[in-house]
Amino acid sequence: MKKNGKLIGAAAAVLVLIAVFAGVWFATRPATSAGARTITVEVVHGDESVRTFTCHTDAEYLGEALLEEGLVRGDQGDYGLYITEADGESAVYETDGAYWALYQDGEYATRSADQTPIHDGDVFSLVYTVG
């Protein structure tokens, strides 16, 4: 009887922990906004040429919008979408240390593209970076 009580207590504790973690995640996840948005995406290529794109989207996160527009290609990694190509130019880190750095409104982004919420009027930059 005591063994069953311990199992039930342990199961209840696990359920409480799951609920707490879920609540913390929902409370701290990046906020999104509903509806149509217009964002600007600037691609700075390896030769320092710049192309600017205006995207109209209903996507809530940048990665989805970039993929919808065909502006990027990438792989899903441990930290989200890893952009390997932007505007037709590939960055191969394994070859020369090149990658696409993501900036939001002039600040280095702290999340991957598919975890970065977008709002109407946001400006993003994808900068070909070596090192």
Residues 38-54 pLDDT 10s: 999 999 999 999 999 99
* pLDDT, tens digit (0-9, with 9 covering 90-100), for 50-109: 999 999 999 999 999 999 999 999 999 898 999 999 999 999 999 999 999 999 999 999
- Higher model confidence: residue 17 or residue 115? 115
State yes or no: pLDDT of 24 exceeds 60: no
How many whole angstroms separate alpha carbon 112 and alpha carbon 61? Answer: 10
The mean per-residue pLDDT over the stretch 15-43 comes to 67
Q: Which residues, 6+ apart, have CB-to-CB distance to 126 below 8 Å?
A: 41, 42, 43, 44, 71, 72, 83, 86, 87, 100, 101, 102, 103
Beta bridge partners of 61: 117
pLDDT score recorded for residue 25: 46
Is the separation of the CB atoms in 109 and 102 below 8 Å? yes
Q: Which residues, 6+ apart, have CB-to-CB distance to 55 below 8 Å?
A: 38, 39, 40, 41, 65, 66, 68, 69, 71
pLDDT score recorded for residue 26: 46
